[in-house]
Amino acid sequence: MNSKFKSLLKNMSYTLSSNAITLVISVLLTLFVPKLLGTEEYAYWQLYIFYTSYVGFFHLGWIDGIYLKIGGENYEELDQRSLGTQFWLLNVLELVIGIGISLWALFFVQGEMKQLILIYTAICGVITIARTFLLFILQSTSRIQEYAKFTRYDRMFYFVLAMTYLILGGRNVQFLILLDIIARLIVLIMCGKSCQSLILPPFAKVKDVYPEIIDNIRIGSKLMLANVASMLIVGIIRLGIERQWNVTVFGKISLTLTISNLFLTFINAIGVVLFPLLRKTEHSKLVQFYDAVRQLLMAGLYGMLLFYYPARVILGAWLPKYTDALVYMAILFPMFIYESKMSLLINTYLKTLRKEKTILMVNVVSLAFSLVFTYLFAVKLHHLFLTVLAIIIVLAIRCNLAEMALSKELSLNIWQDIFLETILTVIFVFVSYFLPMKESIVIYLVSYLAYLAVKAKTLKGSFQSFKQIMKA
């Protein structure tokens, strides 16, 4: 076994074990928090989670630019004086933005609870961006063990604090939010200690670092805007649900989204390892590696859809207050397939090939579809089923557009694969939503086995190719 394969397995084991723990914690929180909180309290908790998912974009692409530049380098070879100066200047910028958001919430937002959630979001943003800066440094320089450890600790600390509070009888959503902020702060301090050679003096002069900052923002802004558009693709539809129905319906649909994305937590672990690895890989091997991994990944992901059926039964019995929303799991569950392929393969490859503009254009086009569908289905028709269905449709559009662009760069023909996968997704969604569970299980299982039969020769070849690549 060569050193590259050993390194890949070692790093992947760190991230997989870390994300496995994170996945278990996410499952437990998903099961217990909505069970113990009232539906309105849980809805405000989901609103906080929704808002905080966007705070990472207030760095304006600064961190993304650094990440793209230093990916694959060794930590000791970094210009630590420059990066340390940038770390503290970024913190000053985020503090100013956080104060601005808080003042805007106090003077222009209606409703005390929404004001407070925005203020908590601003505080969370300052801490989260500082932590993200340091985590990206660790990830880019292949310090994967530390990256995985701190990522795991974040949710572990929060889980212990939140569950202790809930078990002791606490039911205040504001206190749960504060515990989340405290957990993030603890991990930030730990990251800072691990990167203390970078964030402690001596620092470079601001005037010397200024051109580097501008260049980082210039490079990273495309990726940052692409990420903003990516999150808004679903975010716009979720916002449409919150505005056209109410915060309780928003909370219930958000629960089904959370459940549908649980597997994504686990899959993302592999993407963390792939980017630094691919940056060091010869261009001639990228095509073969992509095709092999893609075939094996998609066969596995469509098999994971079978977990929907026991999950639906268990959650229906455990969370009877959310039974009316759980029916939408059938529509949203395949989300993790498209999101996993985008995160693990397509975006990782496009970043490696420095095609940030392609990522941005695909996400902007998909966002346009999201806006149109939200207006038609949520505002004009006020139809919840069609609005929720729009989420999976737009994610499929984005994934397929991005893969078509990437396949052109790699000279790959993936039309047949996209067609088969789309058919399998449509079958799953419609039989799972409209038919009784027994019939839907049989129909989807037969369809999946037929898919495997059609792809059997290709999958066998992909497995052999993957082994050969790893031995090279």
Q: Are residues 64 and 119 in the same domain?
A: yes
pLDDT digits (tens, 9 = 90+) for 340-396: 888 878 888 888 787 888 988 999 999 999 999 999 999 999 998 999 999 999 999
210 falls within a domain:
no
59 falls within a domain:
yes
364 falls within a domain:
yes
87 falls within a domain:
yes
Q: Are residues 195 and 321 in the same domain?
A: no
Q: Are residues 200 and 229 in the same domain?
A: no
Domain endpoint, select from 175, 204, 233: 204
**Dist CA 176 CA 182 (whole Å):** 10
Greatest mean pLDDT among 27-36, 37-46, 54-63, 305-314 = 305-314
**Dist CA 429 CA 427 (whole Å):** 6
Q: Are residues 232 and 179 in the same domain?
A: no
Which residues, including other chains, have CB under 8 Å from residue 375's CB and lie 6 or more apart? none
Asked whether 125 and 94 are in contact (CB, 8 A), the reply is yes
Mean predicted confidence (pLDDT) in 42-68? 87
Which residues, including other chains, have CB under 8 Å from residue 281's CB and lie 6 or more apart? 289, 352
214 falls within a domain:
no
Range of the domain at 259: 220-472
Which one-letter DSSP state was computed for residue 58?
A: G
What pLDDT, on a 0 to 100 scale, did the predictor assign at position 180?
93
* Range from 63-72, 120-129, 197-206, 417-426 carrying the lowest mean pLDDT: 63-72
Q: Are residues 262 and 391 in the same domain?
A: yes
What pLDDT, on a 0 to 100 scale, did the predictor assign at position 469?
62
What pLDDT, on a 0 to 100 scale, did the predictor assign at position 290?
82
Q: Are residues 243 and 367 in the same domain?
A: yes
Mean predicted confidence (pLDDT) in 122-128? 95
pLDDT digits (tens, 9 = 90+) for 70-116: 877 888 888 889 999 999 999 999 999 999 999 999 999 888 898 99
Q: Are residues 230 and 199 in the same domain?
A: no
**Dist CA 53 CA 399 (whole Å):** 20
Asked whether 363 and 230 are in contact (CB, 8 A), the reply is yes
Which one-letter DSSP state was computed for residue 170?
A: -
Residue 1: pLDDT band by 50, 70, 90 thresholds? very low
What pLDDT, on a 0 to 100 scale, did the predictor assign at position 377?
93
Both tokens of 276, joined, read 């630094």
Both tokens of 19, joined, read 């994300």
Q: Output the CA–CA distances (angstroms, integers) from residue 222 to 36, 61, 89, 359, in the order listed.
A: 42, 7, 21, 8
Asked whether 362 and 417 are in contact (CB, 8 A), the reply is no
211 falls within a domain:
no
**Dist CA 388 CA 206 (whole Å):** 48
Q: Output the CA–CA distances (angstroms, integers) from residue 84 to 80, 92, 123, 194, 218, in the order listed.
A: 6, 13, 22, 13, 19
pTM for the predicted model, two decimal places = 0.73
Is the pLDDT at 276 greater than 70, yes or no?
no
**Dist CA 431 CA 443 (whole Å):** 7
pLDDT digits (tens, 9 = 90+) for 390-418: 999 999 999 999 999 999 988 888 899 99
**Please, what's the b/e burial string for 260-272 (b: 16 or more CB within 10 A of its CB; e: otherwise)?**
bbbbbbbbbbbbb
Asked whether 444 and 432 are in contact (CB, 8 A), the reply is yes
pLDDT digits (tens, 9 = 90+) for 277-322: 666 666 667 777 888 888 888 998 899 899 899 988 988 888 888 8
What pLDDT, on a 0 to 100 scale, did the predictor assign at position 36?
85
Tell me which residue has tokens 């501008």: 214
Its sign, for the CA torsion 238, 239, 241, 247, is: positive
Residue 15: pLDDT band by 50, 70, 90 thresholds? low
**Dist CA 6 CA 293 (whole Å):** 18
Query: Which residue from 405, 409, 281, 275 is spatially nearest to 345, judged by alpha carbons?
Result: 275
Q: How many domains does the chain have?
A: 2
Q: Are residues 72 and 174 in the same domain?
A: yes
Q: List alpha helices for 280-414, DSSP H.
A: 283-304, 308-318, 323-326, 329-332, 335-340, 347-352, 356-373, 384-410
209 falls within a domain:
no
Q: Are residues 161 and 262 in the same domain?
A: no
Both tokens of 38, joined, read 């009232």
341 falls within a domain:
yes
Is the pLDDT at 271 greater than 80, yes or no?
no
pLDDT, the chain, mean: 85
Is the pLDDT at 25 greater than 90, yes or no?
no
Q: Are residues 16 and 52 in the same domain?
A: yes
What pLDDT, on a 0 to 100 scale, did the predictor assign at position 397?
95
Domain endpoint, select from 156, 174, 204: 204
Q: Are residues 255 and 400 in the same domain?
A: yes
Percent of the chain with pLDDT over 70: 89
Asked whether 93 and 217 are in contact (CB, 8 A), the reply is no
Q: Are residues 85 and 145 in the same domain?
A: yes
176: left (phi over 0), alpha (psi -120 to 50) or beta: alpha
User: Which one is predicted more confidently, 287 or 132?
Assistant: 132
Domain endpoint, select from 172, 204, 236: 204
